[in-house]
Structure 1
Amino acid sequence: MKAEAWIFIACTIFLVLVTPTYWFVTSGSEHGGDWTGTSALTMCTLLTAMCSVYLGFHATRMDPRPEDRKDGEIADGAGELGFFPPFSWWPLWCAACLGIIVFGTAMAAYWLMIIGGALGFIAVAGWVFEYYRGEFSH
Structure 2
Amino acid sequence: MLAMERLGYVLGVFCAGVALLYGVWGDWAEPVGVVGLTLGALLGFMIAGYLNITRRKLDGVPPEDDPLGEISDIAGDFGFFSPHSWWPLWLAGSAAIIFLGLAIGWWLVALGTFFAIPALVGWVFEYWKGPHAL
The alignment's TM-score, normalised by the length of structure 1, stands at 0.69
> 2: distance between equivalents of 1:75 and 1:100?
43
Gaps of 5+ in 2: none
- Whether the aligned pair in 2 keeps the contact of 1:66 and 1:72 (CA below 8 Å) is yes
Alignment of 1:4-19 (within 5 A): 4-19=4-19
Gaps of 5+ in 1: none
The alignment's TM-score, normalised by the length of structure 2, stands at 0.70
> 2: distance between equivalents of 1:101 and 1:71?
46
Alignment of 1:26-37 (within 5 A): 26-27=26-27, 33-37=29-33
Give the CA deviation at 1:66: 1.1
Alignment of 1:40-79 (within 5 A): 40-63=36-59, 64-79=61-76
In the alignment, is residue 127 of structure 1 matched against residue 123 of structure 2? yes
3-state DSSP of counterpart to 1:85: coil
Pick the aligned partner of 2:82 from 77, 81, 85: 85
Cα 1:93–1:3 shift into 2, 3 Å: same
Query: How many residues are treated as equivalent by the alignment?
Result: 130
Per mean C-alpha deviation after superposition, the further-off stretch among 7-16 and 17-26 is 17-26
Larger radius of gyration: 1
Identity of aligned residues (%): 33
Per mean C-alpha deviation after superposition, the further-off stretch among 57-66 and 13-22 is 57-66
Give the CA deviation at 1:56: 1.8
> 2: distance between equivalents of 1:100 and 1:54?
29
Pairwise CA RMSD: 3.2
> 1: distance between equivalents of 2:20 and 2:67?
38
